[in-house]
Structure 1
Amino acid sequence: MTSLPPASEAGTPRWLLPRTAHAAHPALVLAGFVVAGFAISLSQGGSSGVIQDQVRDLDASVDMIGWTIVAYALGVVVGAPLIMVGLAAWNRRRLLLTMSAVFVATSVLTALAPTVETLFVARLLAGLPHGALLGSAAYVGVLALGVERRGQVIATIMYGLTAAIVVGVPAMQWISERSGWRLAFWIVAAVGLAGFVLMWAFVPSVPGTHGAGFRTELAALRGRVLWTAILTVTVGFAGLGAVQSYMVPLLEDTNGFAPGTVTVVLALFGLGMTAGAYVGGRLTDRSVLLTSRVGVIGVAAMLLLLGLVGGSGWPVVVALVLLGVFIQTFSQGAQAHLMDATHTSPSLGAAISHSALNAATVVGTGLGAIVIGAGLGYVAPAWVALVLALVAVVLVFVGPGYRR
């Protein structure tokens, strides 16, 4: 049952709240979030698709560009909790539009970056609004569809992210090969602007947390259950950053695939993630615990397979697609569990989930850059991520909050 406010406060200027947003249909509310998620996934996931062109254009190495991917994830890790705690009392419509505008501006800065150093700074800034935007979107989406369908809400928003992996990231890789990586990020900015317009048109006025302040919101971040959930997401999801960030050089340099074939493989990987979002969303509404366990066990198994067949050609593609399925299934259960663990502030919990997911990207991509820089090759990150995934397997069975 929807809990969205039916109308705005009397006298609100139309440029702040158009008539279409006074009592918007839930599907229209979610549409803006899906497009915004598509843009965010283009920005984050597309970075791995354009890495080869950035190496050539900026006269850098693969591991140096890898650290710019880490910078974006660090921005999410820092920005999500700070923004959601500091601006907890803000109206959620205002917060969503502000974060969307910041995302568009920082995407433009990325496209204009002249050096690796400025690219690092631009990517760090671009990550700041990520968690607050998607966290607030998940909260408003749950209000729109009802808490009993929260798994479907998370999955629907994730469709925007996974659609970008299926279509957008391969397209960015294709554009980068032919017209340069900068054009690809101008397209990211344009898609982000489209998301901003949709949210301005249809997202209603949703109050922030009444009387919230730093002390009130920080109180929601206490307890072993929450921090075990955050640790589980971080180590369990690290495999995505470790593998996806260096997927293009893994396929081209280690396995000898042509750039056109790599475009197809990236699309197949995205289809796997889309399937995982669909299955994970349905499973989460039945059992958060079961979804988390099935997902993380599958992630560990696929990282092991990838490590064993990493230089074998098409078997690598099979391992990557199945990794996409299981990593996204695990993501659905993990995000729902984090929202449950911060039940006194669900929008903060949703933002924290993105912070934890990107802490995983920091860990996975950072460790991947280290082992690649040490000359161990593009398969080595999968072995590092496997060790972390096994820790997550243990936590989802015996950790506080997962035993029940």
Structure 2
Amino acid sequence: MSLPLVERVSARRFFLYRRTLRRIGQPAARDSEEDLIRLLLCPRSAFAARTRRIPVVVRDSGGRALATAVWMVAEGLPDTLQIAFLDLAPEGGQQALSILLDASRQHAASLGLPQIVIGLNGHVNNGFGFATKDAGQPCFGVPSNPAYYADWLRPHVDHIQKMTSYAYDVGAFSFGRHARVLPGLFRRYRFRAADFSDIRREIACYTALNNACFEGHPFYFTRTPAEDYELFHSFRLFLKPEHFIVAMDGDRPVGFLLWYPDFDALVPPGGRLGLGALWRYRIRHQPIRRCKIAEIGVVPSHQHRGVALGMMAECFARIRDRFAICETGWILDENEQSLSLNTRWLDAPAHTYEAYVIGSRVR
């Protein structure tokens, strides 16, 4: 019987093994993560300046890859070993996962780290969690994994972080009784699109709002404008000013909403976002029927004042008659404020996700 082995590998070998696993386990899945992983592993990136990264692979004695992941320790989460970008083989992957987790515990202990988080990809803005059900092609920027990952992971962990996303039928959506307050909100606040003529200034605004809105949220830690500029750079040609909505109280940004079309609809099965997708989007104007609200946040001083409602109204004014479905990003199940913003108009969640903690939990 082959004995699986865990080894640290170069980025080049990591990608070779990872592509093999995805061809076997998820042959039809679009890969929206490879360009991001390349950025995060690049030693010259702003992310690398604040994060230790080690690509690892679990192979059997015949050299067959059974699991790949990246061990990360971020400066902003210094007590935590992250097991990021995990991929598992459908056959042999469950045993490989056990061996990888044992090696991860040993590595964390050698660094004096009391906690391991599985599914945190360097930072929550890079990706977080695993889908718990097989529910078709996920929207761009949403975890892509077979549901058995969650089944295999749960027995090994001390805490499960549950998350939920929602989906709106855009054509049928109505703000209902809340619609009567919208005129007052639009008089009180201005909801503007981004000004990409000064992209670095707008990215700095995005970063500052993220840090102000999500300070103290589980697993979140402070970002830098350089990191966010790198994050958006890989799909900058797909973004339009309307995708970044900023709520203004006078001259002060007090909230933001980031949304975008499901760019994975432009990508063939097994493919990646690239020049072909850009041609379909910018030149052919290929229809995309689904979009995603990736983030929405309001600074603490302006919460419970209708700012989030106003940004949602501005967003739906832009997507109505253009998209059939609008999905949200994941929302932590204990985030009652964000959940209530969605459940006031919807009866049931669209998808559920989980991330996993071994050891002490982040507070």
**Please, what TM-score do these two structures have when normalized by structure 2?**
0.23
Structure with the largest fraction of strand: 2
Q: Which has the higher helix share?
A: 1
TM-score norm. by structure 1 comes to 0.22
